[in-house]
Structure 1
Amino acid sequence: MTALRTSAALLALRGKPLWRLLAADKAPLVMGLLQSLLLDQDKTLSSSVFHERLAREMELLRDHGHELPQTAQAYVADWIGEGWLTRRFPPGASEEEFELTADAAVALRFINGILRPRTSATESRLANVMQQLSRLAEETDTNPKTRMAALTAERERIDREIAALERGGVKTLPDERALERAREIISLAEELANDFRSVRDAFDKLNRSLRQSLMESDGSRGQVLEALFSGVDLIAESEHGRTFSAFWRLLTDGEQSAVLLESLDEVIARPFAQQLELRERRFLQNLTATLMSEGGGVHDVVQQFARSLKTFVQSREFQEQRRLHGLLKEAQQAALQARPAVRPSAHIDYFFNLTSSRIRSVSQWELHDPTLSVADASMPEAEASELGLDVVEDMVRQSEIDFRTLREHLRVMLTSMSQVTIGQVLEHFPAEQGFGSVVGYVALGAKHGELTDKLETVSWVGADGISRKGRVPTIYFVRERALELLD
C-alpha cells in the first residue's frame, strides 16, 4: 500500500506545472529564458518589455543553432497555459505584468541546486537543527525547575565568556566556517523570499474559493455571505492570512528591523565576507529591502482581494453571478436528460443568428492634428521687480512645499535609524510649513517609502501658532532607499 500511495501521489505531481517544466521537450532553452528574464534580476516585467527582451534572447539562441520555430508572443501564450507564467494587472498600471509562477520558480531553483551543489552535511546546518530543537524543547517545557536550570546554565556560560573577554581571549570562527554559515543564511533567506510567491498564490486560490462558495451557497444567505455582511475579513482571518499578518508585524517592527540591519552591516564588513561571490554580497546588502518589497507586494494583494470581495458582495454583483450560475446548471442538467433521446449529430431545426459588426475601411478615418489645439505659449516680458532674493524665497516657501528640506530631514534621520515614520521625523524636525510639510512627507512616502494600511497620529504647529493633530497613513522610510531621496 505504501508503494501504491506514493505512486499515486507522484502521478498526480507529474501533471503539475513543476514536473511539466522539468520534462518539457525544450526544457533547457525554456528554463534558461525564464531564469535570465524573470529570476536572476527582475522578478516582474511589463508586457512590452518582456516581449522585447524575450524576442532578443530567442534570436540570440537561434544564431547559435537552437530551433525555436514560434514567435515570442506564441511562446508566452503557451507558457501561461502550462502554468509557468502568470500575468497580473496591478492597479494604476498602464499594461499587464508577467512573472514566474511558484511552481516554475521552484523548478528553476531545483535545477540551479544541481548545477551548483553544496555540501549536504555541513556543520552550520547541524548546529542550526540542534539549536532550533533545543529552543523548541525549552519553550514548550512546563516544568519551572528545568527551565530555571536551563536559564542558570545559560547565565553561567555567558559569565564564562565575559571572563574570557576580560582576559583578552577573543575567539572567532575560522573563515571557512564563517563562509559556510553565511551561505547557509543566504540559502534560507532566498527560500524565504521565494515563499512569498506561494503565499500570494494561496491567497489567490482562497479568493476564488470564497467567490465560488458565494455562487454555490443555497438560500438567500450562506455562511460566507453572513460573515462578509458581519464585517469579517475572511481572507485576513484565514490560516494563511493570520500567519502572514504575524510575519508582517515582525518585519515592520522597528526594533527587530534595526537589529537585522545592524547585523547585516557587521557581517558584510567582516574580512571573510570579501570571499563571498558578488551576487551573494549584493543579496545580503539588499536583504531587508527585498523582504520589505516581497512582503509589501503580498500585503497589497491581500488588501486588494479583501476589498474586491467586499465590493463584490456589497454591490450585489454576486446575485447576478449566482443567477447565471444557476442558469448554466439548469442547462447542463437539461442536456444530460436529453442525451439518451437526442444524438449529438441529430438535426433539431433550430437556428442561431450570428452577431456581426459593421466593417469600415481604414481610409475613412481622419488623423488628429495636435497642432490645431496648441495653446498660445508666448510669454510677455514683465517689468523688473525690486524684490530681493530673500523675499522671493520666502514667498515661494509660503506658496510651495519645500521638498528639498524635507528630503534632507529624512536623510539625516536615516543615518542613525534603519527606518522612520512621518511622526518620528516630525518629532525631531518640526513642520516649518505646517500642514504643507505633512502633505510633503506623505507625497515623498508614496514615491520612496513602504506604505502600510495602518494610520498614525502626527502633530504640527500652523502659521497661526495653534497646535494641530491629524491621522496619516503609516509610511516607513528605509535606509536602503535613502539614495532615492537625493535631489
Structure 2
Amino acid sequence: MTYEYLKNLKATNQTLKLLNSDNFAMTLSFFRAVFTGARETTLPQSRILQQLDDYLYLLNQSYDGLFPRPAQAYLDDFAASGFLRKYYADADEPVYELTPQSQKALEWIESLEKREFVGSRSRFNLIFELLEELEFETGMDDKTRIAKLEAQKLQIDEEIEAIRSRRSLRFDESRIREHYMEIEEIARRLTYDFAQIEYNFRELNTTAMEQIAMRDDAKGEVLGSIFELEDAIRESDQGKSFFAFWQLLTDAQRSEKLSQMLEGLYEIPSISAFDSNRRLKNLKYDLLKSGEKIATVTSRLIEQLRRFIDDRVWIENRRILQLCKAIEKQALEIKEQQPKTRSFVSIPGQQLRIRSIAGKSLYRIRTETSLKQEIVEKEVTIDLESFYHQCYVDEEKLRRQIQEMLQHRQQCSLCEVAAHYGVDKGVAELIGYLSIAKNSHQARIETEERERIPVTDFDGEQKVVILPKIIFTRRIV
C-alpha cells in the first residue's frame, strides 16, 4: 500500500468517488432507504424515480431547496457515475440495482457506527474453530483424526451426563447477545458479498466475449471457448464456494432446519427485546433471492455468449450467400455475352495448382502376391437384436413432467417423478433425467443417498435401477 497506489485508488475507485462526491449524504441515505433498508435488490425505473422524487421533496423542505434539479437528473447521474447499474431485464422498463462499489460504501459507513459492545469471545471461538477444522482436514493423518473424533465423542458424553445431572450451564444474557450480533454481522456481510460475486462473474464473461470477438477462429473452436468459460466460472474458487453454498441452501433438510431456527430465534426473550425489528426474520428469503439472482445471471451469461456465436455464424452465412449471388449474376452475364478470350474471370486468393489428367502416369500391372499361410475365417455371431430396440427420449417432455410435479410443492425427487409418470423407456429415460439435473441450477444430486427406481425395459420386464438421490426444486421468483 504505497503512496502512488493510494493516490491512484482515490482517482479511480468508484467507492471513494462516491464517498468524496458533493451529494454523498443524499446519495447514500437514499440508497440505504430504498435498497438495503427495504431489503430490495432491484427496482424498476418508475418506482425508484417516484421514491427519489419524494425523498428530494422532504430534503428540500428541511434544507431550503438544497437539491433543485429534478429526480430524473439525479438518477441519470447515479447510473452514469457507476453508483447504480441500469439494465433491461424481462420488460421494456429499465431496472436499477446497487453496484458492488456502492454496497461497499454503505458497508463501510455502517462499520463506523459505534457499537455498544464487541463480541470478541465469539469471534475468537470462530477463528479457533476454523483453524481446528483446517488442521483436521489437511494436517492430520487418519490415526490422529480418529483419536480426535474419539475425544470429541467422550466430551459429548460428558456434556450429556452434565445435562442429566442438571450441572449444565446455559448461556447468560451477555453470551446470547454476543452470538446474535455475530450472526447478524456475518449475514449482513454475506448479503453484501453477493453483489461482488455477481460483478466478478460479469467481468469474467465480458473478458471472454472480448477475446472471442478479437479472434478469427472456426465455429468449433469458438464453441470450445464458451465451454471453457463455463467451466472457468464453475471451477474457480469463487464459483466452487458459491455453488456449494447454493447446494446447502437449497437442501430440503437444511432449509427446513434454518427456517425452524430463525423462527425459534425470536422466541428467546433477550433476543426479542434486543432486536424488536426482527432483522434476521427474513434471512432465508434474502439469501434465496440473492443466490437465485446469481445463479440466473450465470445461466444468462452463458446463453448470451451462445447467442453471440449464433449472430457471428449468421453474419458468416450471409457473406457466403452474397458471394454465391455475385457468382450467379456474373454467370448470367457471361451467358448473354460469351467471352472471346480464354481468361474471362479471376478469383482473388492464392493460386491453385491444377493437375491435368494427362499428367498422370499410365496404368501399371500389379504383380500378384502369393500367401503361403492359409487364412481361416472364424465364425462371428453378431446379435442384431439390439438395433431394433433404439428409442428416442424427449427431454422437453421430461422437463414438463418435472415442472408439473413442482406446481404444488417446493421440491420433488426423481423417485417421485418416476412413480407418478412411470419409466417406460428403460435406462435411457433415466439418463435423460440425469442430463436435465446435471445442467440445471434447480436440481441437486446427493451422492451419499441412493434411490431404487423401478423401470420397464423394451421387453416389458420390470427392473430396478439404483441411482444417487436427485432432488428438483422450484425456482424462487
TM-score (norm 2): 0.65
Which amino acid is the alignment partner of residue 210 of structure 1? A
Please, which of 11, 22, 30 is the counterpart of residue 19 of structure 2?
22
Q: Displacement of 1:182 after TM fit?
A: 0.6
CA distance in 1, matches of 2:299, 2:287: 18
Please show how residues 268-307 of structure 1 align to structure 2 within 5 Å: 268-279=266-277, 281=278, 283-307=279-303
Change in 2 beyond 3 A, CA 1:7/1:117: farther
Distance, in Å, in 2 between the alignment partners of 1:289 and 1:9 is 40
Tell me if the contact between 2:49 and 2:72 (Cα under 8 Å) persists in the aligned partners. yes
The correspondence for 1:308, drawn from 304, 321, 339, is 304
Structure 2 contact 194–294 (Cα < 8 Å) conserved:
yes
Q: Which residue of 2 aligns with 1:366?
A: none
CA–CA separation in structure 1 for the residues paired with 2:231 and 2:473 = 23
Q: RMSD in angstroms over aligned alpha carbons? A: 3.6
- Asked whether 1:108 is paired with 2:99, we answer no
Distance 1:293 1:238 in 2: 22
Partners of 2:227 and 2:260 lie apart in 1 by: 46
Task: Please tell me the residue identity of whatever aligns with 1:73.
Answer: Q
1:34 corresponds in structure 2 to: 31
In structure 2, what is the Cα distance between the partners aligned to 1:16 and 1:473?
43
Cα drift, residue 192 of structure 1: 0.8
2:78 maps to 79
What is the correspondence of 1:173-212 to structure 2 with a 5 Å cutoff? Answer: 173-212=171-210
**Deviation sequence 1:148-200 (CA, Å, 0-9, x none):** 33212211111111111121233210012111111111110111122111111
SS state of the match for residue 269, structure 1? coil
Deviation per CA, 1:106-152, whole angstroms, max 9, x where unpaired? 10121122134364462111111111112211121232332233212
Counting aligned pairs with the same residue, the percent is: 26
Deviations 1:204-260 (A, max 9, x none): 111111110012225547965533378965544555433322222122122222332
Letter aligned with residue 32 of structure 1: S
From the superposition, tell whether residues 308 and 409 of structure 1 become closer, same or farther in structure 2 (CA, over 3 Å): closer
2:162 is aligned, of 161, 164, 177, to 164
Distance in 1, Cα, partners of 2:294 & 2:140: 37
Matches within 5 A, 1:434-449: none
Distance 1:318 1:231, change over 3 A: farther
CA distance, structure 1, for counterparts of residue 147 and residue 46 of structure 2: 64
| 1:78-477 equivalences in 2 (<5 Å) | 78-90=77-89, 92-117=90-115, 119-120=117-118, 122-220=120-218, 225-228=223-226, 235-279=233-277, 281=278, 283-316=279-312, 420-421=411-412, 452-454=441-443, 474-476=472-474
Change (3 A) 1:233 1:172: same
Task: Give the secondary-structure state (helix, strand or coil) at the position aligned to 1:98.
Answer: strand
Which sections of structure 2, spanning at least 5 residues, go unmatched?
320-404, 422-439, 446-450, 455-469
Indicate if the aligned counterparts of 2:83 and 2:99 stay in contact, CA closer than 8 A. yes
Q: Distance in 2 between matches of 1:453 and 1:317?
A: 31
Q: Is the partner of 1:87 in helix, strand or coil?
A: strand
**Range that drifts further, 112-121 or 231-240:** 231-240
- Spell out, residue by residue over 1:279-313, the C-alpha distance to the aligned partner (whole angstroms, 9 max, x if none): 3x2x3221111111110011100001111111211
Report the CA distance shift for 1:156/1:474 in structure 2 as closer, same or farther (over 3 A): closer
> Residues of 1 paired with 2:259 and 2:174: CA distance?
24
Paired position in structure 1 for 2:426: none
On the 8 A contact 1:421/1:475 being kept in 2, the answer is yes
> What do residues 308-348 of structure 1 show as CA deviations (whole Å, max 9, x unaligned)?
1112113326967xx9xxxxxxxxxxxxxxxxxxxxxxxxx
Q: Which moved more, 1:24-33 or 1:250-259?
A: 250-259
Do the aligned partners of residues 77 and 171 (structure 1) sit closer, same or farther apart at CA in structure 2, a change above 3 Å counting? same
Separation in 1, partners of 2:104, 2:281: 24
Deviations 1:54-99 (A, max 9, x none): 0111011011115113211111111112111011211x32411111
Taking a change above 3 Å as real, the CA distance of residues 30 and 229 of structure 1, as seen in their structure-2 partners, is: closer
Is 1:227–1:234's contact at 8 Å kept on the other side of the alignment?
Answer: no
- Amino acid across the alignment from 2:307: T
Deviation larger for 63-72 or 13-22 = 63-72
User: Which secondary structure state, in structure 1, belongs to the residue aligned with residue 170 of structure 2?
Assistant: coil
TM superposition shift of 1:409: 7.0
5+ residue gaps, structure 1 = 324-405, 411-418, 432-450, 460-471, 482-487
Highest Rg: 1 or 2? 2
SS at match of 1:97: strand
Contact 1:233 1:306 in 2 (8 A): no
